[in-house]
Structure 1
Amino acid sequence: MFSFGKSSTKLCNPTRNGLDAATHESAPRAVVEQASLDQISRYRRVLLLQGPNGRFFSRLRDLLVAKGCQVTKVNFNGGDDLFYREGDLVRFTQPIVLWESFLRTLLVERCIDAVVVFGSSRRHHRIAARVAKSLGITFWVFEEGYVRPDYITLERSGVNADSPIASLELSDFPTLQAPPSARKFQHSFRKMALYSFWYFVGGILGTHRYPHYRHHKPFGIGELAQWIRSAYRKQYYRWRERALQERLLASDHPHFFLVALQVYNDSQIRVHSPWRRIEDFIEWTIHSFAEHAPTDSVLVFKHHPMDRGHTDYKAWIEACAARFGASGRILYIHDAHLPSLLHRSMGLVTVNSTTGLQALFHRVPVIALGRCFYAKVGLTYQGPLDAFWNDPGAVDMRIYARFRNFLVRVSQINSSFYADSMLVPVPDSLRYGWHGRFTRFLCAVGLVAADAYSGRPWDIFTAVNMLAAMVLG
């Protein structure tokens, strides 16, 4: 990381920790270091909390153990048990109010040097960050890649709005060479969805063992159905919105601004923005656009692909547009190719989504309305949204390149949680066979039937094409 180190109080003798003050954090220094899994392997005793859905943390354990680390893992639910079964494993089955004291005792007893988590906004991870800081223990956080699709994020202390990068000015960034060409990973989203499906199955089956656990997406048949419905809706929206896609991607497309919606329960919305719900952000944005944007411009809301099975804002967007006199100027789309939309848009509006970084890459001006690590003077628009519609400015690509090169160096690892065969090979037991396709077919039939009786526009030709895509896809 690029950081100024400070001395820290360790729980155990430094020689036992394998990380003394002289080699790690004692003297003030400025270091630009390539992010890598080796940063974690330097610690003698590592505690893993929750990881991404799938086997990534179990493979990380194998890598760390091979390098001489002692690794302890805490499991919180049956989904964790499904993918992490071996080694020094501790199960937390108590109410969340007892988590802090439980964790503090565990850290002391195991003489932990570093805590590693996936996502810093989950409640038990926020508590863990606070406890680790109080005990002088380094806290490392994995997250989905800031630069997508072929990177994962690893930062010390926090990610997104809590990233150490958030407090730096652009003038603090050294000039670095562009990173080498990244390895590419195939079918990451599909494998992530598959792992997530089985994670929720494990969570449901393990409810009796973890009676007090509450996931950020509730375990239950309803949640599983929404994941399956997401696959169905992808095909449905592809057919329903094909005319709209053609209109937005045509050479004579309307002048439009793009709004990148985030997942309905995204902690970055609840913790790091002025809004508690996506609906409130939608309403506020439409009102500003209707009052201040040029009358010949259009506003396009892009749905988040991970939220496809859970929410549909069509009725809410249409109601807000009608209330503020902007009907016909507000559009809503789900699965159009994002880079193609960005190339044609006049500017991107987001709360704090990493879609903003993709937009900057495509030279599209960005305004970030929440706390965001890349919302910096010289990089993103700094004025109010009301003014953005009329003069979004232009992206200084020299500044962006400097920022991106630094970002990739200190926080990005060219890997995938789900599809990097060097770390996370997909077990044969999780691959689709004939029985898997038959199960998908039954689920698809049920969901198509449910939509047919839901009152939404529907036709048999679209349904047949969707069934074929889901079963054969």
Structure 2
Amino acid sequence: MKHILFLQSPLGTFFKHLAQHFSSQQHCTYKINLNGGDRVYAWADKVYDYTGLAKDWSDYLNAFYKEHKITDIVVYGDCRYYHSVAISLAKACGIKVWCFEEGYLRAGFVTLEENGCNANSELDLDLVKINNTDAKTVKSTANVGPTFKKRLWYGFRYYVEYQRQNKSFINYIHHRPWTSWQECFFWLSNFRQKWSSMLVDRLTKRKLISKHRGNIYLLPLQVRVDFQLRQHSPFASVEEVIKQVIHSFATNSEKDKVLVIKHHPQDRGFISYQKLIKGLTSFYKLEGRVFYVHELNLPKVYPYLRGVVTVNSTVGLSSLLHSIPTIALGSALYDLPGTTFQGSLDDFWKSSYRVNSKFFAKFHTYLMQETQLSGDFYTERQQLLTLCYQKMCRTNDDIKTVQKIA
């Protein structure tokens, strides 16, 4: 029997249902809330609030692990301060760590790995082992439709309660730097930016395809508070990425090549890099060769690209799937010989490198089999709960017949 501690979850009820699922199989479940938003979706056999100082979190957890004989902890995201401390302590105590993330392969998948995700993943990337994998069609068995309205509602409830109960969790340090009201304002600005960009970017797309097809490099920006950028790359900010890439492009690319910089959809309204990009374009005399866009359907643009430059975005996996030469400037699971360009950024612009499509197909299958589960945090709940339960219990020989939760 497991004693499972749940910490912060994806926005919404997924951890609540996962805890209920384990509890229905006679496992003991625990939940620690760190703020009022956590309380909204909390469920476990025993639920606790931590209201102490961040510096005391480790001591609190150490005592909690021992008192409740915790065997497993479950987190969403492994880089948040409270999760990072919990994971380090759990490993030292011999406690299993289960990390959820959005799917590496995106729509229809979620990521579940033991001990860490993304750059913290302990996935065995031995090239021989990957080469011995039989390549298969990677397709989710989950029927995932639009989830934006659910995400919006879950986020709204979370941040309302986060703000309303702030005095009860006065010592809490959030992993995002904005207040609830700032988040609300920025998301309203996000929608405004989306609609204002749709027409302009549609015209830009037509121009790019008609005049520059085959000569287009894409730089997909990441969210500026993305832990993968902040902790698993040599860059301190998105601005630093933009500066380095434009400088390298200006000094090393051929004159008929263009660079398209795509803003991350979740960062619209929060920040604009228009002034920075315009200034750099002018400084390097790149007028007509650098484009800054918000609304660009990447799968429809892929056939016209010459290459993709990313830090460690999952866009890199998507571009490799389309056999587009890609370079990763940070730590990324897919940054392997045969997949990404292994030279310098300066050399990338004139390289004739081609993706080893056969090897990538094997890697894509291997990544799916080892780290991905079909499903979604907001739909297809029962199938995903079953798969999570089976994976988390696999090494303990305690898989029982799954009882469907009413």
Normalising by the residue count of structure 1, what TM-score does the alignment of the two structures yield?
0.78
CA contact (8 A) 2:100 2:110 kept: yes
Q: Cα–Cα, structure 1 residues 192 and 424, in superposed 2: closer, same or farther, change >3 Å?
A: farther
1:272 aligns with 2:232: yes
Superposition deviation, residue 198 in structure 1: 2.1
Q: For residue 191 of structure 1, what is the aligned residue in structure 2?
A: 150
Amino acid at match of 1:372: A
Q: For residue 301 of structure 1, what is the aligned residue in structure 2?
A: 261
Q: For residue 169 of structure 2, what is the aligned residue in structure 1?
A: 210
Superposition deviation, residue 169 in structure 1: 2.6
CA offsets, 1:269-307, max 9 Å, x none?
111111111001100000000000011000000111111
Superposed counterparts of 1:230-241, under 5 Å: 230-241=190-201
Q: 1:170 aligns with which of 127, 142, 146?
A: 127
Superposition deviation, residue 137 in structure 1: 0.7
Structure 2: gaps (5+ residues): 386-406
Q: Secondary structure at the match of 1:300?
A: strand
Q: Cα–Cα, structure 1 residues 421 and 131, in superposed 2: closer, same or farther, change >3 Å?
A: closer
Q: For residue 161 of structure 1, what is the aligned residue in structure 2?
A: 119
Q: For residue 358 of structure 1, what is the aligned residue in structure 2?
A: 318
Superposed counterparts of 1:326-341, under 5 Å: 326-341=286-301
Q: Cα–Cα, structure 1 residues 356 and 181, in superposed 2: closer, same or farther, change >3 Å?
A: closer
Amino acid at match of 2:126: E
1:418 aligns with 2:378: yes
Q: Cα–Cα, structure 1 residues 140 and 179, in superposed 2: closer, same or farther, change >3 Å?
A: farther
Q: 2:184 aligns with which of 224, 231, 252?
A: 224
Distance 2:128 2:43 in 1: 46
1:112 aligns with 2:58: no
Distance 1:135 1:85 in 2: 25
Amino acid at match of 1:170: L
Q: Cα–Cα, structure 1 residues 326 and 357, in superposed 2: closer, same or farther, change >3 Å?
A: same
CA contact (8 A) 1:234 1:335 kept: yes
Q: For residue 369 of structure 2, what is the aligned residue in structure 1?
A: 409
Q: Secondary structure at the match of 1:149?
A: coil
Q: Aligned residues: percent identity?
A: 34
What is the count of residue pairs matched by the alignment? 382
Q: 2:94 aligns with which of 136, 143, 158?
A: 136
Superposition deviation, residue 421 in structure 1: 4.8
Superposition deviation, residue 309 in structure 1: 2.1
1:371 aligns with 2:331: yes
Q: For residue 385 of structure 1, what is the aligned residue in structure 2?
A: 345
CA contact (8 A) 2:214 2:305 kept: no
Distance 2:35 2:44 in 1: 15
Superposition deviation, residue 250 in structure 1: 4.2
Distance 1:277 1:180 in 2: 33
Superposition deviation, residue 235 in structure 1: 1.1
Structure 1: gaps (5+ residues): 1-17, 19-43, 426-473
Distance 2:354 2:143 in 1: 30
Q: 1:64 aligns with which of 2, 6, 22?
A: 22
Superposition deviation, residue 392 in structure 1: 4.8
Q: 2:49 aligns with which of 91, 95, 98?
A: 91
Bigger RCO (CA 8 Å, 6+ sep): 2
CA offsets, 1:225-264, max 9 Å, x none?
1122212221111123221122234486361100010001
